[in-house]
Amino acid sequence: MRNIFRIAYDCYIQNCRNPTWNTKDLALISHYLPYQELLKKLTKLSGQDYDTVLDQFAELLGSDIKESFGVKYNQTVVRTKKNEYTLYINSGDFLGFESEIDMIITRHFTTDTHKLNIIWNQTPPVQFLVEKNYTLKFFNEIGERAFVSRNERMVSLFPNTRTSTISHEIGHVLGLPDQYYPAWDQTTCEYKYYTDFANFMSANSSGVMLPRHWELLDETYRVQKN
């Protein structure tokens, strides 16, 4: 896997204008908290204020990085009722396995307060002006990590993707960012990750959807009237 963190840093230092990012790089950049950490470091190094550095970095990446640290609004998400969401998903490479995947997702996203419905292989109603919904893709490559591309509206899954990871990626489709926290370790000179094991956007195998995730989504999406 390419070290995009390193590429971004070198690129920033050398002030290069046209870094070549592939789909996966961009997906990682837009969900990845290390970039927030990198920006803080660069702010210190350059003596400029955080927003200036963020602007420069965003221009350099040619991506909507500025939105990436909160919930990213996704127009294919429909808040059908106060406590109910609907997501239109194209099953793509998983055609025929909709009910199995549906079970994984709805079990995860049905909580005391809220629920999420999946509608498969239909586009959202015309009034939401959505041309294309997110599609599940399968790539037969070992050792790759699942990711969501917002540009291509694609959820990419791999042979070693765990079922809990599918829910995590659906969290990204809803607009939730990754929530594991990198911190620089002086003794080993590397970033170490600190995770919240209760939070599925931080640790997907043990974590669950938390009340604050729903709060964030409720702040982002309005109830749609039919």
Residues near Zn ion (CB under 5 A) are 178
* CA neighbours closer than 13 Å in the CB half-sphere of residue 142: 0
CA distances from 97 to 90, 103, 121, 133, 159 (A): 11, 10, 12, 18, 15
Least separation in angstroms between CB 32 and Zn ion: 8
Least separation in angstroms between CB 84 and Zn ion: 24
Least separation in angstroms between CB 156 and Zn ion: 12
Q: Is the torsion defined by CA of 41, 46, 49, 54 positive or negative?
A: negative
Residue 167, SS3 per DSSP: helix
| DSSP output for 197-221 | TTBTTT-TTT-B--HHHHHHHHHH-
Least separation in angstroms between CB 11 and Zn ion: 23
C-beta closer to Zn ion: residue 25 or 178: 178
C-beta closer to Zn ion: residue 32 or 88: 32
Where does the chain have alpha helices with state H? 4-13, 23-31, 34-46, 50-61, 98-109, 163-174, 211-220
C-beta closer to Zn ion: residue 124 or 161: 161
C-beta closer to Zn ion: residue 2 or 44: 2
CA–CA distance, 69 with 35 (Å, rounded to integer)? 9
**Which residue has the closest beta carbon to Zn ion?**
178
CA–CA distance, 119 with 117 (Å, rounded to integer)? 7
Least separation in angstroms between CB 33 and Zn ion: 10
C-beta closer to Zn ion: residue 12 or 149: 149
Least separation in angstroms between CB 207 and Zn ion: 11
